[in-house]
Each structure stands twice: as C-alpha cells, then as structure tokens.
Structure 1
Amino acid sequence: MILKSRSILTITQAEKKRIRLLRTRKGRKSEKRFAAEGIRLLEESLRNKFLPVKLYYAESLLTDRGRWLVNQFKKEKVSLRKILAKEISAVSDANTSQGILGLFNIPQLKPGMVFKKGRRLLLLDNISDPGNAGTLFRSALAFGFDAVILTNNSVDPFNPKVVRSSAGAIFGFPIITATSEEILRFQKNDRFKLIVADMNGIDLHSEKSNIRNFSRLILVLGSEAEGISDYISSKADIRVKIGHTAKVDSLNVAVAGSIIMKELYI
C-alpha cells in the first residue's frame, strides 16, 4: 500500500509545460533540472541516494515494484505528487509510461573538483549520439572509472535519451561538461596521462599492462564520423587501437570504448 501523499490528481498546464521543457537543452539549462522516468532508472537513483526533488506517480499504472519504490521515496522525504494516468502520460517522454517520473537537480560541479578527486576519467569528444553516450556512461561505471567529462561539442549528458540509455549510470558518479581548454589545463596540472583511442595507434593488447600502471589517466573517445579534435589529440601521451578482423572497417564508439575500458579494468 502506498503511503499517503498529496491527494491532488491533476497538474496545471504550467507544470506540464515546465516538465516538457526539460526535454530540451535550453530548458534543462534554465531550470537546472532534468527528468528521469521508469522503474529501473528511479531504482538506480534511490540506490545511489541521488534523490528527485519531486516525484510524480500514477497509482493505476504502477506495478508492485513501482508501489514499493514510491514508498521508499516517501521514507526519504521526497515530495510526492499522485496524479492521473492521463496526466503522467501527457508529460512522459516514453512510448508507454510506467507511471513514475522524477525531477532531479543537475549537480553544479566544478571541473577542478572532478580532476582532483578522480584517478581514472573518461573524456567524450564530439560524441553526439545519445545512445552511445549513455552506453559509455554505463560501461565507465562498470569498469571502475571515477567520472565522465564531455566536451561542449558533445551531447548534453542529461538529455532524456542519454539518461535512459545509461540505465541509471547517470546517478552513479560525476558527469560534467567542460571546454577543451579547461580539460587540458586540469589534465596537465593534475598530471593525468592522456590515452587517445585512435585507429592508427598502438594495439591495446601490447600496451594495456603499461597503461594499467598509470596512477592517473584520461581515456579519450571520439565519434566515428568526427573523431577527436586535433587540439585534444595533439596532446596524447599514448594512442591505442583495438585489433579486429578486416571484415569491418571500424567499431561503433560505444563498443570500442567499452572494450578498452574492460581491458584497462584492474
């Protein structure tokens, strides 16, 4: 049974507009918030204690798992709003709503703090595909990376499609956007080795033992189409590639990046 929350079963047009606005980069920037919906994502937010500032739910759409989740957020003192199924469907970004949607504050993190605390960082440059970005977030979390940094020409990490494809990894560690100049300044000052994925680099298999011994490193990945900017690539300490058969020209960045991170996992 769901613990009592506000009994209002409708939301205003203004509220609907603000929630829908979070689907856009401009809206997320102005509101400093993002939305996540669905059982799995909200379970991951709870597990990582990355709690929503407001949770909307439609009781008629919830499974037992969803009801349990709402109760847990209630215990965490999260602000709950029970609304009608048609209301949550009206603001949902999913094809079929699971009846639960959370609004979250975007962490206002300074790049310097991420570099100071991190030992292994993933840098995404020119990564515009939300699915690839989300998959790489999840792999980075799985294989022991401490944070993800995206250059300004990459996808917004709090884009709904990125959040969804991360399968909750977005809640597991710091994820920030910074300029290439900022990134390389901190990389140099904090003495990170810059490992660049490059089809013309050294085979990863022969270098992974050496790389594993680096006390601090940044793995840089770029899209298949755009690659890594010359500005960042020119600062590489090591360039690595993944060996594969000649039957394919290249690997998708999410696949290639995940393989590299697995190989460097200690």
Structure 2
Amino acid sequence: MCRWLAYSGAPVLLQDLLYRPEHSLIVQSMHSTLGAEATNGDGFGVGWYGDGDVPGVFRSIEPAWNDRNLSELAAHLHSPRVFAHIRAAIGSPVQQTNCHPFRSGVWLFMHNGYIDGFHAMKRDLAMMVDPAFFSDIEGTTDTEMLFFLARTFGLEEDPQAAMARAVGAVEEAARHHSIAFPVQGTFATTDGETTWAFRYSSEGRSRSLFVSTDVSTLREQHPDNPMLRELSDDARLIVSEPLGGLRGAWREVPESNCILVRGGDLEMSPFEPELAAPVR
C-alpha cells in the first residue's frame, strides 16, 4: 500500500513536516508500522499551496528517503496546506505520472489502498469520466481514475457526495464483473481551503487513518513540547499512521467516515457510496 499525510494550519516548513517527527513520513517510507508493507519506496509526491493560482506539485520515482531534491526543496518551502504521499505500487508502473498527489485545477487528490479488479473494470470506469476531464488523465492508476470520476460527479460542488457517487460507480461496475470487494482505502482531497478525507472499504476493513487532536489541548497536556509551541491553534494533520507517540495526540477515524477540515474546525460524518446517474 502507501502512506500519506494532509496538513492544514499556519504556514509550516516542509522539512519540519516531512522529516522532523520521530515517525515522519520519510521514516515510514522505510519502516511503516501500520501499512500492508513496511517499505514504501516506489516514489513519492508533495503538493502545496503558495502564491500561484494552482497548487505546486513535486513527484519523483525515487524512494523518499534517498531523494536529495526532496530534502533540498523541503528546507525552503513553507505552505499552509500540504499533501504528501509515499508509494508502494500495486500493479501499475513506477513512473512520475502514477505518483500521488494528483492535481486538476485547484484540486489535489491522493489515496492509500486499491481498486480490486481495476484492470477488468478500467474501460467501464473510463467511459463514465466526463469527456471534458478525460484528456487530463496522465497516468494508469486506479487512484487517478477515481479522482476524475469524483470530478465528473461534482467534486467542485459537493466533494463528499461526489466521492460517494464515484465509489458507488466503482462498486456498481464491480458487480458486473463479479468482484466482491472492489474498493479499499483512505482518500484525501482539497481545494486549498478545505480538506476532505475518507475511510472506506467495500469489505468494511479499511486501511488505518488518524487525525490530530486540537493543538491547544495538547499544549495543556504537554507544556514542555517545543514542536507544539510552533504550531498554530488551527493546525490539523490527517495521516495514515501517527507521526509520533505523543500521548493523546491522535485519534483513529472510524470505519466508513468522512472528515472535513476547514480552518481549525473539524467535522466527521458517516460515508456511504451512492449509485450515480450515468454521465451523458
């Protein structure tokens, strides 16, 4: 599988976010403790929001622990909203266009998990993508296909409903191919202002997902922790696995739930697939 994190809050140096925690994403690229594989070395990607009209993206097929360009970039970039992903490929080639996060306009999207039977369903799913978006698909992954299905089903208007319809479309296609449990994973998307994260699998046994506790509460519990003093009150992290063992810092996202993070506000609600109307 893969590992990922989504950060929002006051601008943070990417180096502090990706390298500094005791169980950082860079450490997880070599020694994941909750992933299906301990090593996630089939490339990585970072997406961030800055001065441009669209987010910046840096993706590479190098292992995250061994990429000097990532280390150099991370030492100089600050951003208030960051997506980062380390990849363990399943089936699709190791190439830059298959590295997460994926970008379309102001949107970023990433995923840990897989669509079972994707090869058999690929044409069916591709035919559902709005022709206006189809030519923007660059890679060959199930994740990118799901992203553009979500765009097709209204990601810009209602991200949670769009993801419910996209996942529903995959499950409906899977039924025609006798695939019992097609969707597995945790997903995240953002427009630069709000982050949505989803934990869902057709089997009801999703990959791990955690969200950070309110920073002000953590400061009260751990007044001597220097890193907590540097974070803004509205800082939030959503992660595949905790970045450290600080007591009370993380809570697990329940199965079949969606998290919305806007500013310091966090909302959690049930997530279930919907049967989408055909695209015309």
- Greater Cα radius of gyration, structure 1 or 2: 1
For the superposition of Structure 1 and Structure 2, which TM-score range results when normalised by the shorter chain?
A: under 0.3
TM-score, normalised on structure 2?
0.26
Which structure has the highest strand share of the two?
2
Which structure has the highest helix share of the two?
1
